[in-house]
Structure 1
Amino acid sequence: MTQASLLGQILDHANRADPYPLYAELRKTPVYREEDGGTYVVSNYWEIKGLLHDPRISSDARNLSPQAAGALPDQEEEGALPPTFLKLDPPDHDRLRRMTMRPFGPPHTPRRVHSMRGELSKIVSDLIDGFGDGEHVDLVDNFSYPFPVTVICRLLGIPREDEARFHTWADTIAASLDPDPSEDPTERRRVAQQARTDLGVYLAGLIDERRKAPGEDMLSALATEHGPDGQMSQMEVLSTAALLLIAGHETTVNLITNGMLTLLRNPNVLKRLREEPQLAIPLVEELLRFEPPVQLLPQRTTLADIEVAGTTIPKGASLWLVLASGNRDPQRFPDPDRFDPDRKDNQHLGLGSGIHNCFGAPLARLEAQIALTQLARRLDNPSLVEDPPPYRQNAVLRGPRHLKIAFDGLRA
């Protein structure tokens, strides 16, 4: 197996169900150069951790050379919106992230996520009630997809009567991140761009309304907040709201779906969660290590020559960080291929690290804890209909496209 072919195998959908043996092979050479001449892949925990904290690593795709940019997997198009802070470097990144954090979490809004706990539980309960008494359910279509979109609607303050439209736009945009090879790519891009345009027009109108009559929701705060960094422009509010929708939605879908798949493969842990709901907190942390919703970060570039594990990565190179491989590094985690919710010192890379660590981590964690706890408690005798399930095409946002679960009924 050649090093140059290894990344291609990881990206190959045929290996999506279990890429971990390929990651183990990848870790034998912590840094290697792809045949395209511009891509360097880093796969071991400590090297990835260091690079995520290295100011010489840029997240701004505008710093990529044309050759390096051409080596990236397909990414979503953002139309006329400015880059989100995920795709910016300091100081622009720091300013926008601070402004977004003020209405979202500590120290200025410390209870935003905590105060949603009751609402999250109600949304989860209603979705599970919707399973009815059928013999099986597709967890993705009937639970994992609608749950985080509904949460984001409530967080932003989308009127209840508009939530169905918001769901449709979110589903269309999400589908564009995971293209079906049998679809016409031109038509797919057209439909996705139309959904982005419609969503942008809708949000722009809602932002104008909130500026005139702000409420308690996050969109009102983003639109009206005047802090030390000033006020967000209309386009910055739009871009940030779109980020909350796409990034918050896709990662949470995968976290919940991968989580339930893992629990059904480990029935002893599922039983423990049913009997010990407090297990949900360490269990979700282990899921973030064991089956992270974001497997790799392809959009990084070097701003200077950097030596990593004895290899010099030159300035301007495309850098891929394989987070899921680092999470299974035996030099960092004992017995890394074992799912262990009692694991100690679990400082995984499942939500990133450094200045770009997952902005929505507190909400994603809470969503997964509540969702998996209620699913474990309420589904009577659940089992997988198909294992492995069909996986999405996307290698970055890896997760099942469908997860059919058989069950005997619902507990109250």
Structure 2
Amino acid sequence: MSPSPDTLYQRITDYANRADPYPLYAELRENGVTRQTDGSYLVGTYHEIAALLHDPRISSDSRNRADPSTVPLLRWGAQAAFIGLDDPEHDRLRRIAMRPFGPPHSPGRIDALRADITRISDELIDAFRDKDRVDIVEEFAYPLPVTVICRLLGVPREDVPRIRAWTNEIIASLDLKPGKQDDSHRVAAVDAREAMSEYLGDLSDKRRDHPSDDMLSALVHDAGPDGRLTRAELKATGTLLLIAGHETTVNLISNGALTFLRFPDAYRLLRDKPELMPRAVEELLRYEPPVHLLPQRTPLADIEVSDVTVPEGAPLVLVLAAGNRDPLRFDEPDHFDPTREDNQHFGFGSGVHNCFGAPLARVEAQIALNALLPRLEGFQLSEDPPPYRRSPILRGPRHLPIEPAGGG
């Protein structure tokens, strides 16, 4: 007897399916919008997801849930990060954060990081030059983006281990399962968020008196048309940027290395033609995206999605990775094609909540993977599939060990 469609969310979030959730995503697309046993509604088809991500009736603020009993993942204390807010609050906070980050006000900030990203990538790769076994996650994919985001925000190098410990606790709380949540994970995550938030608040106070050329100093001192961030807003925004600024990029780089080792033809093509890497990164964002689902969307009114009425206040889960492989949108969606041209994926979401840090993540992944490719010559995966992280939201390998091909 086949499993019922109303258990799809339970099966998708089951760690046993983390290594290969794509058959479940195909099942979701075949069944259309499905109501789950916990009362949530799953959407996994491309065009429906795209419409919902651009629909102003869909809220990102968990306070609009009919049943707000679940502890929100993106809200703590009195202030939420802008990713968990709706306009106009979201728009104001995002605009303020964007001023020191990218165009039109700071068009050169990301380009100025290219040399640093290249140097850090080369240093990390040189460190495992003579090793017989390398963990790509631990020795490359994690330290690169965390070093870059900490440098961008102005976090001292000696504090990076504290940032990692807090981030690990927060990401562990994203191991969603329908029904009752593990309170211990959530309590630990709240404690970690508060500790990181207070740390950034204290660091911001120091930048107020002694500004530097980092982004945190710019946020503290910038009094643009939307005004300055309050201390609470600054803490929440800084925490979001610090976590989101490296976690998804870790997965993108790790998934890239894993995919290239699984597809030798694509690997050889990109090794010989590094100019194709920007397009290959876009294909990675479609084929093996760092973010697989958005679990916190809420209709502000009854809405029709593929002839199914999703009631106001019901939890709405958008399975972005399922949409990325929808055959009604992409030709041969289960095929990794680093030369794919028509590739409007959901790797960074879409709509007003499109990933704030996407330009930086793209640059980091392109530089990192081009630097890594020549060093993968003669190596193979030590195990396939590798061990995965617990979270079904931010999906990627927890470790990615490689060793010389043939075991010698």
Q: Deviation per CA, 1:259-296, whole angstroms, max 9, x where unpaired?
A: 11100001111122222111110000000000111111
How far apart are residue 306 of structure 1 and its match?
1.1
3-state SS of paired residue (1:55): coil
How far apart are residue 380 of structure 1 and its match?
3.4
Separation in 1, partners of 2:65, 2:168: 30
1:44 equivalenced with 2:45 (yes/no): yes
> Aligned runs of 1:247-266 on 2, under 5 Å?
247-266=244-263
Native 8 Å contact 1:176 1:188 kept in 2? yes
Separation in 2, partners of 1:186, 1:48: 31
Native 8 Å contact 1:306 1:315 kept in 2? yes
TM-score, normalising length: structure 1: 0.91
How far apart are residue 176 of structure 1 and its match?
4.8
Native 8 Å contact 1:328 1:336 kept in 2? yes
1:13 equivalenced with 2:15 (yes/no): yes
1:151 equivalenced with 2:116 (yes/no): no
Separation in 1, partners of 2:209, 2:363: 32
Of residues 364, 388, 402, the one that matches 1:405 is 402
3-state SS of paired residue (1:298): strand
3-state SS of paired residue (1:206): helix
Matched residue, 1:102: 99
Matched residue, 2:86: 89
Matched residue, 1:311: 308
Of residues 191, 198, 201, the one that matches 2:198 is 201
Q: Deviation per CA, 1:351-392, whole angstroms, max 9, x where unpaired?
A: 100000000000111111111111102333121000011112
1:285 equivalenced with 2:286 (yes/no): no
Separation in 2, partners of 1:81, 1:278: 47
Separation in 1, partners of 2:173, 2:9: 23
Q: Deviation per CA, 1:148-201, whole angstroms, max 9, x where unpaired?
A: 11111111012334444434444444445459xxxxx67655655554344333
Matched residue, 2:342: 345
3-state SS of paired residue (1:372): helix
Q: Mark the CA change 1:362 to 1:64 in structure 2 (over 3 Å): closer, same or farther.
A: same
Separation in 2, partners of 1:314, 1:381: 54
Separation in 1, partners of 2:184, 2:14: 23
Q: Mark the CA change 1:78 to 1:142 in structure 2 (over 3 Å): closer, same or farther.
A: farther
2:238 maps to amino acid: A
Q: Deviation per CA, 1:114-134, whole angstroms, max 9, x where unpaired?
A: 110000111111111222411
Matched residue, 1:358: 355
Separation in 2, partners of 1:95, 1:77: 17
Q: Which stretches in structure 1 are left out of the alignment for 5+ residues?
A: 180-184
3-state SS of paired residue (1:374): helix
Native 8 Å contact 2:141 2:253 kept in 1? yes
3-state SS of paired residue (1:28): helix
How far apart are residue 214 of structure 1 and its match?
1.7
> Aligned runs of 1:2-401 on 2, under 5 Å?
2-36=4-38, 38-66=39-67, 69=68, 76=73, 79-80=76-77, 82-177=79-174, 192-401=189-398
Q: Mark the CA change 1:7 to 1:175 in structure 2 (over 3 Å): closer, same or farther.
A: closer
3-state SS of paired residue (2:265): helix
Q: Mark the CA change 1:339 to 1:239 in structure 2 (over 3 Å): closer, same or farther.
A: same
3-state SS of paired residue (2:134): strand
Instruction: Report the identity percentage.
Output: 57
Separation in 2, partners of 1:35, 1:189: 22
Q: Deviation per CA, 1:334-365, whole angstroms, max 9, x where unpaired?
A: 11000001112100111100000000000111
Separation in 2, partners of 1:233, 1:275: 50
How far apart are residue 5 of structure 1 and its match?
1.9
3-state SS of paired residue (1:121): helix
* Equivalent residues, number: 400
3-state SS of paired residue (2:31): coil
Separation in 2, partners of 1:295, 1:186: 23
How far apart are residue 403 of structure 1 and its match?
0.8
Separation in 2, partners of 1:81, 1:164: 27
Q: Mark the CA change 1:63 to 1:235 in structure 2 (over 3 Å): closer, same or farther.
A: same
Separation in 1, partners of 2:11, 2:236: 34
* Over 6 Å off, 4+ runs: none
Native 8 Å contact 1:75 1:177 kept in 2? no
Native 8 Å contact 1:305 1:312 kept in 2? yes
Q: Deviation per CA, 1:87-136, whole angstroms, max 9, x where unpaired?
A: 00000000000000011011111111111000011111111122241111
Separation in 2, partners of 1:47, 1:117: 37
Q: Which stretches in structure 2 are left out of the alignment for 5+ residues?
A: 177-181
Q: Mark the CA change 1:40 to 1:159 in structure 2 (over 3 Å): closer, same or farther.
A: same
Native 8 Å contact 1:149 1:170 kept in 2? no
Pairwise CA RMSD: 2.2
Matched residue, 1:182: none
Q: Deviation per CA, 1:193-217, whole angstroms, max 9, x where unpaired?
A: 5543443333222211211222221
